[in-house]
């Protein structure tokens, strides 16, 4: 009997990758997906960003706007995927 040979990992198509990003429920899941799919992100800071006054959001505003680190990172990863593939 012949055994199936694995020759390499076929990366997900863009549509499936966007769905997989949306399905992530934790930062660790999202980072695992980034690593597994070899997604490249460039992190940079803006000059003078530390001089900006932070906007203080209430808990309700954060929940309503989905303004969490996970949601912000998902948005940036989707931009990277759509731009590069």
Count how many Cα atoms sit within 13 Å of the Cα of residue 39 in the half-sphere of its side chain: 28
Q: 20 in helix, strand or coil?
A: helix
Question: What is the pTM (predicted TM-score) of this model?
Answer: 0.64
Q: How many domains, in total, are found in the chain?
A: 1
Domain that holds residue 32: 12-37+60-85
Opening angle at CA 47, ends 80 and 67, nearest 5: 50
Q: What angle do CA 37, 70, 72 make, to 5 degrees?
A: 95
84, 40 contact by CB (below 8 A): yes
Q: 4-32, pLDDT tens digit by residue?
A: 555 556 678 889 999 999 999 998 999 99
Average pLDDT for the chain: 77
C-alpha–C-alpha distance, residues 68 and 36, integer Å? 23
65, part of any domain: yes
């Amino acid at each position: 009997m012949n055994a199936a040979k694995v020759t390499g990992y076929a990366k997900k198509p863009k549509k499936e990758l966007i769905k997989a990003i949306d399905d992530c429920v934790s930062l660790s899941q999202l980072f695992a997906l980034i690593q597994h799919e070899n997604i490249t992100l460039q992190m940079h800071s803006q000059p003078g960003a530390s001089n900006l006054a932070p906007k203080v959001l209430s808990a309700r505003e954060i929940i309503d706007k989905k303004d969490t680190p996970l949601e912000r990172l998902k948005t940036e990863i989707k931009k990277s995927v759509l731009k590069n593939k």
